[in-house]
Structure 1
Amino acid sequence: MKMITRPAMATLSIVFASTAYGFGGACIPLTGVVQSTPDGACTIRGAQSAWSGSELPDPLLADVLPSSVPAASLCFTVKGFGTAQFSGSAGLTTVLAGNRTPQGEFVPRGPTPLTFESGVRAGLTSFTAQTVLTGKVFAGPKQLSGKLYTKDTGTITADGKVAEILKIVGGTKGFAGATGTIAIAGQELGGFAVYTGEICPGQ
């Protein structure tokens, strides 16, 4: 398996929502910027042990690959900047990927990460990750807070540019039962990436 040269981690930003949005099932639009940095301590391991998402956590690459692979290339800390503040941890994971036939049969191709070997896609690697964040969402006078759990799928270039989809799979307190999808694009590691999407509270 080819290693990711400058892996990106998955993140979610929790941001301001206008007073037009409330709770009780209404989805709140999200937009902003996010930044991640390598985490040699691999903090996601501790956060994952208390995972309360609707889907079980995936195996971390930091626990699957040889100890000679530095954790700082596989685990990350996350910070969001904008009208709300949030922070958390993330880690690259290994998940079985494949294709579906016209008959709906799943044909496995291998575990992530997956790297294109040649051609115009050479240097692109598909990856999976998971993230645990602590933060707040505001909607007028109302506020949601707690931990949020996401499972993430993306592609990264050799120079660290990322395109990524985050699936919200629940959380704690105000984010219990939350769903939603976030798209991220940009220089997430060592720079800034832009995200757009929505969170749909479960309460």
Structure 2
Amino acid sequence: MFNTAPFRFLKIFGFILFVTVLYSCDKEVPLKFTETQIIDRDETTIEINIPKAEGHSEAAKQINSALSQFVNSVLNIENSYPINVDTKKSIAGFKKSYANFKTQMGNKLYTNLPVWEVIIDGEILYTNKTLISMAMTSGVNTGAAHGNLVFEFYNFDIKTGKQLTTKNLINDVQAFTILAKKYYDKELLSANESRISAFEAKAFEIP
């Protein structure tokens, strides 16, 4: 689902970003990670597979909170509740939104409505003794001609769990932007017209 040319570029970009960080990686990362997996197929289809930091340290809490907020923001179709709620409540809210939609549209359309689908994946891209980098992707299909895809990258200080910004990671952001754009343009050359038009709508910039 996420094996598109723009997404391949994003993964390449993420890798370049991480290997340019001026940190060494000669010691084992103290945080351990497992995977949170949720599969809920009822009136809607919800699949969630994301990393989970183990333990009760502040770093683990901060990382898990950030990833949970990403999940909740995807499920919060109607923006009807805060994104820092429990994920179970977000799932219930997504189902409720679909039920309301089905009731409203069912009175107007004499046909079966498509099932809403959400797929959320997360993976660890890079770790060392100082930071951990993750990619989060989501795909939401609510019956439109095309689903909605979202890609987000997270860099965390492994000791505190604080999210790191580009300026925390790159000494010369301007020079790095020029380098990254070369890879971006190369990926666009191999993409189809619809993908190109979607990504050319906005000027290239580093997150």
Higher strand share: 1
Highest Rg: 1 or 2? 2
TM-score (norm 2): 0.30
TM-score (norm 1): 0.30
Higher-RCO chain (CA-CA 8 Å, sequence separation at least 6)? 1
